[in-house]
Amino acid sequence: MKFLKNKLAVTIIVLSVGFLAIIVYTFKSQNKSIFQSGAGSALNPIQKIAYTVTEKFKGFADFFYNFSEVKEENKKLTKENAELNNKLVEYNSLKSENERLRDVVNFANQIEGYSVVGTNIIGYSGDSFLSGYVIDKGSKDGLEKGMPVMASKGIVGQVTSIGSNWAIVQSLVNENIAIAAKIESTEDTIGIVKGYKDSQNKLLAKVYNIPVDSQIKKGDVILTSGLGSIYPKNIRIGTVLSVEEDKVKVSKSATIEPFVDFNKLEELFIMIPKEKRKIESDGQ
């Protein structure tokens, strides 16, 4: 009985080795005999499984091999993308600066009879810009109380206090400042511009005492008229948003949106008359 068991075990081993040899042989052989073809057909399921497992293992190995390369490539692309973003930011910054300088040059060239002194805002005289801007230029730089102040986009206000190396500028949206104005398209002098807040507390401006027969309308550009002794003429103030008629006073008023964003100013330009004269800060 023990002999039969040993014989059976030997037979199984021999058959297993034989099948393995056939599998290996049929993988390598290009020209199969009839027996080989038959054996190959019988063992095809086994070969298919072996092939599938082998291919999946190969694909798995390729994935890990390529993953390292993809990871390195991703790092490289991420770095290049960051560099491109930095260059884009730098380009936009230079473009913005170029546009600003062009505005400044155009602005300075259109003012006759005045020299321009650039100055930086270094703080507020109170809690916000409504109380006035503190600038880093003063009397030693030729500034005087009452001088008009501009930004590259248009009128800002005037110097109201001064020291040797500092000054305070009140802006148009501070209701203490008043500017004589006209309509750009018609050259008609129309009234006085002062700061104004609408029902939503938006900082705007308003033209008061407009003649009732004035043709002022929404969309008109309002400029300084040059009347009085403060502001040079033809400096942009704002655009008309709406026009109201006061039947009691027999006049009109117009709400305008200033060209200058008073909440985002960083630098200002003081207009110094080339011909010295007494400047009265009476709002004209």
Greater pLDDT, 33 or 213:
213
User: Contact, 144 vs 162, CB < 8 A?
Assistant: yes
- The domain ranges of the chain are 1-109, 114-273
Structure-model confidence comparison of residues 68 and 6, the more confident one: 68
pLDDT value of residue 34: 41
Q: What is the pTM of this model?
A: 0.62
Are the C-beta atoms of residues 121 and 266 closer than 8 Å to each other? yes
Higher per-residue pLDDT: 250 or 70: 250
Backbone dihedral angles phi then psi of residue 280, each to the nearest 5 degrees: -95, 125
pLDDT over 80 at 214, yes or no: yes
Does residue 58 surpass a pLDDT of 60?
no
Bridge partners (DSSP) listed for residue 201: none
Amino acid present at 257: E
Q: How many CB atoms lie within 10 A of CB 168?
A: 20
Residue 79 has pLDDT above 80, yes or no: no
Q: What is the pLDDT of residue 270?
A: 92
Give the per-residue pLDDT at 17: 56
pLDDT tops 60 at residue 225:
yes
| Cα–Cα distances in angstroms (integers) from residue 260 to residues 60, 146, 151, 238, in the given order | 64, 20, 7, 8
Q: pLDDT at position 13, please?
A: 64
pLDDT above 80 for 25: no
24's CB contacts (< 8 A; 6+ apart) are none
Match domain 114-273 to its CATH number in 1.10.10.10, 3.50.50.60, 3.40.50.1820, 2.40.10.350.
2.40.10.350
Q: How far apart are CA 272 and CA 141, in angstroms?
A: 10
The CA angle 146-149-151, to the nearest 5 degrees, is 175
Are 40 and 24 a contacting pair, CB within 8 Å?
no
Beta-carbon contacts of residue 223 (< 8 Å; ≥ 6 apart): 181, 182, 183, 184, 233, 234, 235, 236, 237
